[in-house]
Amino acid sequence: DQQVKQNSPSLSVQEGRISILNCDYTNSMFDYFLWYKKYPAEGPTFLISISSIKDKNEDGRFTVFLNKSAKHLSLHIVPSQPGDSAVYFCAATDSGTYKYIFGTGTRLKVLA
């Protein structure tokens, strides 16, 4: 049973527009969430995180929103740039454990 789901395997967005990547989770014990970006032939790179005590965290062009009641988080990238083209993974964890549970990833393609 997948505890973290990214239901969209791919997404294409025009340069300059907003990219919205979604992630759903089932385990109500999760209280810390992260987004990673992965380019081909590289390991995942940490992008942004959010604790369950917040509902929004912003870092430059990247904003993560957390809706605890819906067990849903999303990553907004605005404006999208061609260099943002990569696979994006969301991950969730329960504080005090070492286990991150990852989604299957969404491949974002930003068209110039």
Binding site for another protein (CB under 8 A): 2, 4, 32, 34, 36, 41-46, 49, 51, 89, 91, 93, 95-105
CB 27 within 8 A of CB 94: yes
Query: What backbone torsions phi and psi does residue 91 show, to the nearest 5 degrees?
Result: -140, 150
Cβ 32 to another protein, closest distance in Å? 5
* Per-residue H/E/C for 4-45: EECCCCEEEEECCCCEEEEEEECCCCCCEEEEEEECCCCCCE
CB 110 within 8 A of CB 21: no
Amino acid identity at 10: S
Cβ 26 to another protein, closest distance in Å? 13
Cβ 79 to another protein, closest distance in Å? 25
Q: Which is nearer to another protein, 19 or 44 (CB)?
A: 44
Tokens of 76: 């907004």
Q: Which is nearer to another protein, 44 or 77 (CB)?
A: 44
Q: Which is nearer to another protein, 14 or 97 (CB)?
A: 97
Q: Which is nearer to another protein, 46 or 111 (CB)?
A: 46
Cβ 44 to another protein, closest distance in Å? 5
